[in-house]
């Protein structure tokens, strides 16, 4: 007999949302929790500002992006959670890290003045300054569907070549490499890192549902998209299509690409 | 006093005017920055020389948010004191738009009839043109996390504002509740006077989410060290002057309008010096018509509608929080001006409860955000005229008034479709 319920609310933690929510990326925790509820399960978001806020059980983790002024305090805050982050990533707890939040999980951040902010060293690679800020819509071809979002970063990312999130169709992504394919993001097990800021999971439910599949399967539970999610995802698809068509790409239709978890 | 009286710029002015006539001819009714481009090309000193030449000098209003309302309030207060004021409307490219505006009023000797110039400046373009200007007074409203696709960091915005403030020859007026501005004030050259204003701890306490500043200063302004907002309830506010408290009626509901009013009063005081009269100032503020799109209530096709303009995440949050409880008919129009849908994502929209129609170019993006905030959206209609017609055709709501929340682009489309003319102060 397979379990149908967790017996407690699913718990999504949002790490350091006071420091890491410049573009509302902390809202990705809310997106995961809503989709859990829409699939018929209890869910809660717990904001973690320090170790004292950590709940007993963690089912998914969201880390947003912050300003450069917050780099050091955010790094120091994340460092106090480094053991938990290591355990979660080893145990397949899905983790989404956006922008600065991703950079701080890496080996480190090279700043324009030549100094370096040492990262947590949880994922390979490091961030290096760009000549000009990359600010634009971005389209990425990934195995979680065509991801469409917005990027705004002053640094490239070097060292994600072995396991990127996807290939850049429009935009900058990890950087302007003269050679090789243009890539965006980084994945390591169920850790997902990206420059797509703000509501990346709301706009790209294919990626959200992959994280949810991982969170559910750890408990032997099956995830199925709720009825409300189906209609909300149609809205997300319309929003994505608008950007795609403006940038000369084709529109997608229901049951193509993103709307199924995998094909 | 320095009047500009040479004919140096006469040829450029004449060319600029000719281009203006041609531009109008090609696009009837449309204001154009093209004459400004032409004059700035053939006489690059024209703008600075003319702006620096007013008898009572130049006043610049800048900051992340509230500068447009503050400028309008300040102009009303100065005019009530009998001054002839030259002012601008905000345009994307301030130097070209300004030059075009100046061309309408300037005589061939390059002089403009007027006592004082009051300019609203965007922090980015303002910092670019400020180097050539010598404002008597610079007023700083706040530093908000705003326009994220242009200025990512609050530090960067604060640095741009510091650049403009450094040009002040007499007074820098600043919001002491904004930590970035408070710090900026203590690092200014000692030859410049700093006029601080703020709200009381009790007023701040009414807003658990704060007033939207990127960082709020730890302490409130000590009583008696600057104009202070001591009370705000709906459209009524009290301001403490050195001579005692006075009440004002705001042009729209909301704490941000009250703070804008205190900014305008403090700036008027710095500009007018001894001639400043708190009673004249408060009376003129209270007599201002509601600013279009900023909480204005209008009647269209026999229906009463309240307009709410959201220009950045902070004002969006404050507007959602101060909406009348139980407002049952809401139309939301988010347009092409919001390029990055993340822009409003930090805002908690759950207080809206229920939105009848999401419209504008970003209709799907705002509907998506509302859905994740548990706000029911009945219809998504990107076409603004269709959405407006459907919304207006509905019978009057049982509770609250019909409320349209829009971005600046949504406001322009609404104004055009409903044939609404704007306030005389905003001739755009
Ligand atoms: Zn960023």
Tell me: the pLDDT tens digits for A186-205? Answer: 999 999 999 999 899 999 99
The CA A178 to ligand 1 mean position distance, Å, reads 23
pLDDT at B423 > cutoff 80: no
Neighboring chain B residues of A238 at a CB cutoff of 8 Å = 364, 380
For residue B380, which residues of chain A lie inside 8 Å, CB to CB? 235, 238
B273/B260 Cα distance (integer angstroms): 20
Token representation of residue B154: 């609050």
Contact B148 A238 (CB under 8 A): no
Which residues 6+ apart lie within 8 Å of B44 measured at CB? Answer: none
| Contact yes or no for A202 and B369 at CB 8 A | yes
The contacts of residue B328 (CB under 8 Å, 6+ apart) are: B354, B397, B398, B399, B400
Angle between helices B94-105 and B10-26 (to 10 degrees): 100
Report the distance separating Cα B129 and Cα B95, nearest Å.
7
Confidence check: pLDDT of B343 > 60: yes
CB contact under 8 A, A68 and B155: yes
Distances from the Cα of B212 to the Cαs of A110, B99, B338, in angstroms?
A: 31, 33, 19
- With a CB cutoff of 8 Å and minimum separation 6, the contacts of B110 are B4, B5, B6, B7, B8, B9, B10, B13, B46, B49, B50, B53
Contacts of A67 in chain B (CB under 8 A): 152-155
What separation in Å is there between the alpha carbon of A115 and the centre of ligand 1? 18
Distance from CA of A150 to the nearest CA of B (A): 6
pLDDT value, residue B426: 40
Residue B427 has pLDDT above 70, yes or no: no
Neighboring chain A residues of B374 at a CB cutoff of 8 Å? 34
Q: How confident is the model at residue B24 (pLDDT cuts 50, 70, 90)?
A: low
Interface size between A and B, measured as CB pairs under 8 A? 84
CA distance B372 to chain A (A): 6
Degrees to nearest 5, angle at CA A233 with A63 and A37:
65
pLDDT of residue B97: 66
The reported pLDDT for the residue numbered B264 is 98
Report the pLDDT value the prediction gives residue B41, as an integer from 0 to 100: 59
| pLDDT number for residue B223 | 86
pLDDT band (50, 70, 90) for residue A180: low
Q: What is the pLDDT of residue A138?
A: 96
CA of B367 to the centre of ligand 1 (A): 24
Share of chain A above pLDDT 90, in %: 82
In chain A, at which residue ranges do the beta strands (DSSP E only) sit? 10-15, 43-48, 60-63, 95-98, 108-110, 116-118, 126-142, 145-158, 166-170, 183-184, 186-188, 191-194
Residue B36: per-residue pLDDT: 61
Residue B208 makes CB contacts below 8 A (sequence gap 6+) with: none
> Concatenated DSSP letters for A190-220?
TEEEES--SSHHHH-HHHHHHHHHHHHHTTT
Rounded alpha-carbon distances, angstroms, from residue A240 to A46, A97, A236, B368: 29, 21, 6, 11
Around B254, how many Cα atoms within 13 Å sit in the side-chain half-sphere?
27
For B:244-283, CB contacts with A below 8 A are none
Q: Do B43 and B108 meet the contact criterion of CB atoms below 8 Å apart?
A: no
Nearest neighbour of B340 by CB, restricted to A26, A150, A232: A150
* Interface membership of B145 toward A (CB under 8 Å): yes
pLDDT band at B362 (very low <50, low <70, confident <90, very high): very high
Query: Could you tell me the distance, in angstroms and rounded to a whole number, from the CA of residue A156 to the centre of ligand 1?
Result: 11
What's the confidence (pLDDT) of residue B147? 44
> For B30, phi and psi rounded to 5 degrees?
-85, 125
Name every residue whose Cβ is closer than 8 Å to that of residue B184 and which is 6 or more positions away in sequence: B140, B158, B161, B162, B165, B174
Report the percentage of chain B scoring pLDDT > 70.
79
Residue B129 has a pLDDT of 79
Given an 8 Å threshold on Cβ–Cβ distance, is A152 in contact with B149? yes
Instruction: Please report the pLDDT score of residue B422 as a whole number.
Output: 54
Among residues B325, B409, B64, B406, which one has the least CA distance to residue B212? B64
DSSP β-bridge partners for residue B303: B300
DSSP codes joined into one string, A133-147? EEEEEEEEEEBTEEE
Q: What pLDDT is stored for residue A100 in this prediction?
A: 96
- Mean pLDDT, rounded, of chain B: 83
Quick check: A151 and A173 in contact, CB under 8 A? Answer: yes
For A19, A63, A92, A258, B156, the CA distances from A188, given in Å and listed in that order, are 24, 15, 10, 21, 34
Quick check: A126 and A107 in contact, CB under 8 A?
A: yes
Q: What is the distance between the alpha carbons of residues A5 and B24, in angstroms, rounded to a whole number?
A: 69
Instruction: State the sign of the Cα–Cα–Cα–Cα dihedral B377, B378, B384, B390.
Output: negative
Question: A33 pLDDT band (50/70/90 cuts)?
Answer: very high
Contact criterion met (CB < 8 Å) for A69 and B154: yes
pLDDT at A173: 95
Whose CA is closest to B182, among B149, B148, B225? B225
A254 or B403, which is more confident?
B403
- The structure tokens listed for A109 are 């951040």
Q: Using pLDDT thresholds of 50, 70 and 90, give the confidence band for residue B210.
A: confident
Question: Position of tokens 């990326």?
Answer: A25
Distance from the B398 Cα atom to the nearest Cα atom in chain A, whole angstroms: 28
Q: Which residues pair with B227 in a beta bridge?
A: B197
Q: A236 in contact with B at a CB cutoff of 8 Å?
A: yes
Residue B170 has pLDDT above 90, yes or no: yes
| pLDDT score of B377 more than 60 | yes
> Which of A181, A186, A187, A203 is CA-nearest to residue A137?
A203
B139 pLDDT more than 70: yes
User: What burial letters (b/e) apply to B298-334, b meaning 16+ CB within 10 Å?
Assistant: eeeeebebbbbbbbbbbbbbbbbebbeeebebbbbbb
pLDDT score, position B297: 78
A232 Cα to chain B: minimum distance (Å): 7
Has residue B166 got a pLDDT over 90? yes
**Does the CB of B342 have a partner CB in chain A at under 8 Å?**
yes
A145-158 and A183-184 strand pairing: unpaired
Say whether residue B152 is in contact with chain A using an 8 A CB cutoff.
yes
**Cα distance between residue B81 and residue B17, in whole Å:** 32
B148 CA from centroid of ligand 1 (Å) = 9
Per 3-state DSSP, what percentage of chain B is helix, strand, and coil (rounded to 5)?
40, 20, 40
- Tokens for B225? 């060290």
Contact A22 B152 (CB under 8 A): yes
Strands A186-188 and B193-199, bridge-based pairing: unpaired
* pLDDT tens-digit series, residues B52-109: 888 999 999 999 888 888 999 999 999 999 999 988 765 545 566 666 677 666 766 6
What pairs with residue B333 in β-bridges?
A: B359, B406
Q: Measured between alpha carbons, how far is B360 from B411 in angstroms, rounded to an integer?
A: 10
Question: Which member of B148, B340, B345 has the closest CB to residue A27?
Answer: B345
The CA distance from B69 to the nearest CA of chain A, in Å, is 26
Write out chain B residues lying below 8 Å of A31, CB-based: 372
Please check the confidence at residue B293 and state whether its pLDDT lies above 60: no
Provide the pLDDT confidence category of residue B1 given band limits of 50, 70 and 90.
Answer: very low
Q: How far apart are CA A93 and CA A248, in angstroms?
A: 37
Say what the pLDDT of residue B175 is.
98
Band of residue A23 on the pLDDT scale cut at 50, 70, 90: confident
Better-predicted residue by pLDDT, B14 or A96 = A96
Measured between CA atoms, the residue of chain B closest to residue A137 is B340
pLDDT band at B299 (very low <50, low <70, confident <90, very high): confident
Ranges B120-134, B213-227, B404-418: which has the least confidence: B120-134
Single pTM value for the model: 0.69
Contacts of B152 in chain A (CB under 8 A): 22, 67, 133, 152, 154
What is the distance in angstroms between the Cα of B83 and the nearest Cα belonging to chain A? 43
pLDDT at B38 over 90: no
Q: Are B318 and B69 in contact (CB under 8 A)?
A: no
Q: Does B345 touch chain A (CB under 8 A)?
A: yes
More confident: B94 or A22: A22
- The pLDDT value recorded for residue B181 is 97
pLDDT value at residue A81: 97
| pLDDT tens column, A76-91 | 999 999 999 999 999 9
User: B220 or B314: whose pLDDT is higher?
Assistant: B220
> B341 and A239 in contact by Cβ < 8 A?
yes
State the sign of the Cα–Cα–Cα–Cα dihedral B382, B385, B386, B389.
positive
Candidates B341, B373, B382: best to mutate against A (most CBs of A within 10 A) is B341
Distance CA(A173)–CA(A196), nearest Å, equals: 8
């Amino acid at each position: 007999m397979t379990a149908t319920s967790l017996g407690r609310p699913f718990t999504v933690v949002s790490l350091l949302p006071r420091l890491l929510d410049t573009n509302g990326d902390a809202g990705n925790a809310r997106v995961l929790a809503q989709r859990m509820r829409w699939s018929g399960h209890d869910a809660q978001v717990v904001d973690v500002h320090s170790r004292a806020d950590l709940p007993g059980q963690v089912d998914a983790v969201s880390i947003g992006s912050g300003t450069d002024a917050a780099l050091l305090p955010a790094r120091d805050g994340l460092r106090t959670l480094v053991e938990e982050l290591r355990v979660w990533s080893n145990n397949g707890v899905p983790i989404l890290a956006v922008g600065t939040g991703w950079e701080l999980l890496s080996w480190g951040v090279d700043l324009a003045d030549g100094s370096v902010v040492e990262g947590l060293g949880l994922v390979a690679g490091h961030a290096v300054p760009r000549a000009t800020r990359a600010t634009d819509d971005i389209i990425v071809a990934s195995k979680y569907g065509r991801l469409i979002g917005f990027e705004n970063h002053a640094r490239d990312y070097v060292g994600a070549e072995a396991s990127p999130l996807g290939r850049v169709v429009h935009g900058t992504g990890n950087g302007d490499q003269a050679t090789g394919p243009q890539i965006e993001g980084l994945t390591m097990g169920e850790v997902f890192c990206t420059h797509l800021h703000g509501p990346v999971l709301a706009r790209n439910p294919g990626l959200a549902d992959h994280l949810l599949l991982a969170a559910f399967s750890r408990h032997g539970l099956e995830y199925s998209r709720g009825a409300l999610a189906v209609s909300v995802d149609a809205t997300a698809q319309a929003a994505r299509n608008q950007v795609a068509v403006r940038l000369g790409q084709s529109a997608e239709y229901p049951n193509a690409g993103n709307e199924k978890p995998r094909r | 006093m320095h009047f500009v009286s040479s004919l140096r710029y006469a040829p450029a002015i004449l060319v600029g005017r000719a281009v203006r006539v041609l531009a109008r001819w090609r696009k009837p009714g449309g204001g154009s920055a093209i004459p400004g481009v032409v004059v700035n090309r053939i006489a690059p000193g024209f703008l600075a020389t003319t702006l620096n030449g007013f008898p009572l000098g130049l006043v610049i209003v800048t900051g992340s948010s509230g500068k447009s309302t503050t400028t309008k309030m300040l102009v009303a207060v100065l005019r009530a004191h009998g001054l002839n004021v030259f002012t601008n409307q905000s345009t994307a490219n301030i130097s070209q738009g300004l030059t075009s505006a100046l061309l309408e009023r300037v005589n061939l000797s390059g002089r403009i009839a007027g006592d004082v110039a009051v300019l609203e400046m965007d922090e980015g373009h303002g910092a670019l043109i400020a180097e050539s200007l010598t404002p008597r007074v610079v007023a700083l409203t706040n530093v908000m996390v705003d326009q994220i696709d242009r200025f990512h960091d609050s530090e960067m915005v604060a640095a741009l504002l510091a650049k403009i403030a450094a040009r002040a020859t007499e007074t820098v007026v600043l919001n002491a509740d904004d930590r970035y501005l408070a710090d900026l004030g203590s690092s200014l050259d000692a030859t410049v006077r700093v006029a601080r204003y703020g709200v009381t701890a009790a007023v701040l306490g009414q807003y658990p989410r704060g007033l939207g500043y990127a960082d709020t200063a730890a302490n409130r302004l000590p009583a008696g060290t600057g104009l202070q907002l001591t009370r705000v309830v709906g459209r009524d506010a009290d301001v403490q002057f050195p001579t005692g408290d006075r009440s004002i009626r705001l042009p729209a509901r909301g704490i941000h309008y009250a703070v804008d009013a205190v900014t305008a009063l403090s700036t008027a005081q710095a500009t007018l010096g001894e001639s400043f009269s708190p009673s004249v100032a408060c009376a003129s503020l209270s007599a201002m018509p509601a600013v279009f799109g900023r909480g204005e209530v209008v009647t269209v096709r026999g229906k009463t509608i309240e307009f709410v303009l959201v220009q950045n995440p902070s004002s969006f949050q404050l507007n959602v929080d101060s909406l009348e409880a139980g407002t049952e008919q809401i139309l939301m129009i988010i347009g092409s001006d919001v390029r990055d849908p993340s822009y409003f994502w930090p805002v908690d929209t759950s207080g809206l409860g229920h939105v009848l129609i999401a419209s504008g170019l970003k209709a799907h993006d705002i509907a998506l955000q509302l859905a994740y905030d548990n706000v029911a959206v009945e219809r998504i209609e990107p076409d603004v005229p269709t959405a407006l017609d459907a919304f207006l055709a509905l019978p009057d709501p049982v509770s609250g008034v019909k409320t349209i929340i829009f971005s600046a682009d949504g406001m322009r489309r609404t104004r055009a479709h409903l044939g609404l003319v704007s306030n005389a102060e905003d001739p755009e």
